[in-house]
């Protein structure tokens, strides 16, 4: 194989053609030029939260899909590509790219595709001791690390995590390593609750049983110290408020898309001086920026991947040509899926 200036490559790309419609398109990629790199994808992870907003047509049309990622800065109008967790191998380079990139395993924030062209600064080299199908968790693990940093749990605190999708599970796995008094998770799906216990939560509940009953069960007269809302369900924010106490912290990691969040701020929330903040992984909190940058946070995320072994969360593996079946399954039977990945 000629790695420098090869022939054009045909890539298979996933496109969201319209709400509830996906298709696979064949696109010819020119040979990499100048500082470009050609990557052959091995795995890409499907986000059951954000991608289902795209699949269902629930993204605000006036905003970019992700203003911080070059691959997702277009506005949310169909047809569009989406995805942000590709792991692959460098198979070709432009003449200005160091030859050492060839055969490197890399992570990139790219939409689902069998091959893609990019530049070296858009790639993160995967450590040798991390498997390719574990590396697909890097983006969500960085989000979980960011949430922990923004919430700043304290020794002995009572912490609640609402939502046990992949970000919620990874967040719970990290929090379980802290010397907390208790770590309680909530999710409507039994499979997710069971996995949160496997990852170290002290208890897990179905929120449909009612927050009032849950608060009595927990016997926390002063409420939780720290509550994370990562369910993606706007109504869950009121559940977080109902579990809080005086001066509790509520960290919102969910993105609700175009779904409205009606928040009950007229009762205890008003009197309790709650600290409600949003957390978003594309930036770092100002109190960390003097010492932290994205590279340092990625280093922590890799370490958490080593410790939590997130490959255990992969429940479904599909070839890209079966994308329609995968998204239909996520839409109709979300309780059956933890992490789905495309294998190329």
258 in a structural domain = yes
Identify the bridge partners of residue 44 per DSSP, sorted by sequence position. 86, 342
Residue 303 reports pLDDT greater than 80: yes
SS3 234: coil
Same domain as 76, residue 35: yes
CA distance 252 to 91: 40
Same domain, 159 and 108: no
Is residue 128 domain-shared with residue 173, that is, in the same domain?
Answer: no
Residue 51 is assigned to a structural domain of this protein:
yes
* 317 in any annotated domain: yes
Residues 155, 197, single domain; the answer is yes
Are 147 and 131 in the same domain? no
User: Do the domain assignments include residue 299?
Assistant: no
Q: Are residues 123 and 177 in the same domain?
A: no
Concatenated DSSP letters of 120-172:
GGG-EEPPTTS-HHHHTTHHHHHHHHHHHHHH---TT-EEEEE--SHHHHHHH
Question: Same domain, yes or no, for 204 and 110?
Answer: no
Q: What is the DSSP letter of 63?
A: S
pLDDT one-digit tens code per residue, 237-259: 999 999 999 999 999 999 887 77
Residue 174 to residues 157, 183, 187, 295, Cα–Cα distance (Å): 15, 11, 18, 19
Q: Please check the confidence at residue 196 and state whether its pLDDT lies above 50.
A: yes
pLDDT recorded at residue 49: 84
Same-domain pairing of 267 and 221: yes
Look at residue 45 and tell me if it is in a domain: yes
Q: Which residue has the higher pLDDT, 259 or 97?
A: 97
Q: What is the tally of structural domains in the chain?
A: 2
Q: What is the pLDDT of residue 66?
A: 53
226 and 315 fall within a common domain: no
Last residue of some domain: 278, 293, 318? Answer: 278
Q: What confidence tier does 271 reach under pLDDT thresholds 50, 70, 90?
A: confident
- Whether residue 297 lies inside any domain: the answer is no
Once rounded to an integer, what is the mean pLDDT over residues 261-273?
82
- 13 and 115 share one domain: yes
pLDDT at residue 75, as a whole number: 60
Average pLDDT for residues 197-203, to the nearest whole number?
98
| Range 28-54 average pLDDT | 95
pLDDT band at 59 (very low <50, low <70, confident <90, very high): confident
Q: Which of 216, 278, 268 is nearest to 245 (CA)?
A: 268
CATH code, domain with 52: 3.90.180.10
Average pLDDT over residues 75-81: 86
User: Hey, which residues does 106 pair with through a beta bridge?
Assistant: 88, 125
Per the model's pLDDT, the better-predicted residue between 264 and 82 turns out to be 82
Where residue 205 sits, what CATH number does that domain have?
3.40.50.720
From residue 51, give the alpha-carbon distance in Å to each of 59, 251, 278.
Answer: 10, 22, 20
* Per-residue pLDDT band at 216 (split at 50, 70, 90): confident
232: domain range?
143-278
């Amino acid at each position: 194989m000629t790695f420098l200036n090869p022939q054009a490559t045909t890539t298979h790309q996933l496109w969201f053609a319209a709400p509830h419609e996906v298709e696979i398109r064949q696109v010819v990629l020119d040979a990499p030029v100048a500082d470009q790199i050609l990557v052959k994808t091995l795995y890409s992870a499907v986000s059951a939260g954000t991608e289902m907003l795209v699949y269902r047509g629930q993204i605000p049309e006036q905003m970019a899909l992700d203003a911080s990622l070059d691959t997702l800065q277009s506005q949310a109008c169909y047809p569009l590509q989406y995805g942000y967790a590709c792991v692959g191998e460098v198979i070709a380079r432009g003449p200005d790219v160091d030859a050492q990139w060839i055969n490197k395993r890399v992570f990139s924030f790219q939409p689902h595709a069998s091959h893609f062209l990019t530049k070296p600064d858009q790639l993160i080299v995967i450590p040798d001791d991390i498997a390719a199908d574990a590396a697909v968790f890097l983006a969500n693990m960085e989000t979980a690390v960011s949430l922990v940093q923004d919430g700043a749990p304290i020794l002995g605190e009572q912490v609640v995590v609402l939502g046990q999708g992949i970000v919620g599970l990874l967040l719970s796995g990290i929090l379980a390593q802290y010397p907390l008094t208790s770590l309680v998770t909530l999710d409507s799906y039994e499979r997710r609750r069971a996995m949160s216990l496997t990852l170290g939560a002290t208890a897990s509940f179905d929120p449909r049983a009612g927050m009032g009953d849950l608060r009595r069960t927990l016997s926390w007269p002063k409420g939780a110290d720290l509550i994370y809302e990562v369910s993606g369900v706007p109504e869950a924010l009121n559940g977080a408020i109902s579990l809080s106490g005086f001066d509790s912290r509520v960290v919102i990691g969910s993105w609700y898309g175009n779904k409205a969040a009606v928040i009950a701020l007229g009762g205890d929330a008003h009197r309790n001086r709650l600290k409600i903040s949003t957390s978003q992984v594309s930036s770092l909190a100002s109190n960390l920026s003097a010492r932290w940058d994205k590279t340092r946070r990625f280093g922590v995320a890799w370490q958490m991947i080593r410790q939590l072994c997130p490959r255990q969360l992969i429940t479904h593996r599909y070839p890209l040509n079966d994308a329609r079946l995968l998204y239909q399954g996520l839409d109709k039977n979300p309780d059956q899926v933890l992490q789905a990945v495309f294998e190329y």
